[in-house]
Amino acid sequence: MTNNAARTSIAIALVATLFAGCSNEVKRTGFIPKSVTMKSGENQSHKWAADSKKLAAFGKVVVWPTETPAGNAYGDLDPEKLATLRGLLEKSIKDAFGASLGNGDRTLVIRSALTAVKPNKPLLNVAPQSQIMKRGYGYAACEIYATDGDTGPVVAAFMQTTDTERFSTEKLDALGTAERACAEWGAEFRELFPTK
């Protein structure tokens, strides 16, 4: 009886592990200044923003080119593909913010970094049976922060790791997850700022 109970417990634990998948949350790289204390949010995100009244004082927005500072954290992506992803993230931020936030005379400077990319493996994502362990799934991670002027204090910060979604077509393209994430992060960072 004891052996059967032990076997059953082990089998349940193995099945739970099999279906749970693993979290690919990328740790903070240091791109966002260490003095910023961020709080955990949903979907493997971490956020922080200053008082909203202060943010409304920014009348101009400057978006710096997206960086890829993490060296070997991009799988086997060539420089051209990384440049495409950096361009998508930068465009996403520019589209989300437009030219200004409010009517103040200060400038909001936004810096962003693509901190990790694990490309999907499309051949492992074709059949539902092969997706159980998520071996073909990829992820992408970013860090974004904004400062008051070029050298002023940080007024908002955001970082997130985005995993491949099981019920999506993004898993059938090596860069599908990274492209979706880069296109969405600008709007997610924009949510830290009050509406005009």
Task: Identify the bridge partners of residue 110 per DSSP, sorted by sequence position.
Answer: 63, 146
Both tokens assigned to 125: 């994502």
pTM higher than the cut 0.85: no
Alpha carbon 153 to its chain centroid, in Å, reads 23
- CATH level 2 (architecture), domain 24-190: 3-Layer(aba) Sandwich (3.40)
Question: What are the sequence ranges of the domains in the chain?
Answer: 24-190
With 0-12 / 13-18 / 19 or more C-beta atoms within 10 angstroms meaning exposed / middle / buried, residue 29 is middle
Per-residue pLDDT of the chain (196 residues; tens, 9 = 90+): 566 655 544 444 433 333 344 456 778 888 999 999 988 877 788 999 988 777 778 889 999 999 998 777 887 888 999 999 999 999 999 999 986 677 888 999 999 999 998 887 766 555 665 555 556 677 889 999 999 999 999 999 999 988 765 555 555 556 778 888 999 999 999 999 876 5
76's CB contacts (< 8 A; 6+ apart) are 119
- The packing angle between helices 79-97 and 176-190, to 10°, is 30
Nearest to 55 by CA among 150, 156, 185: 156
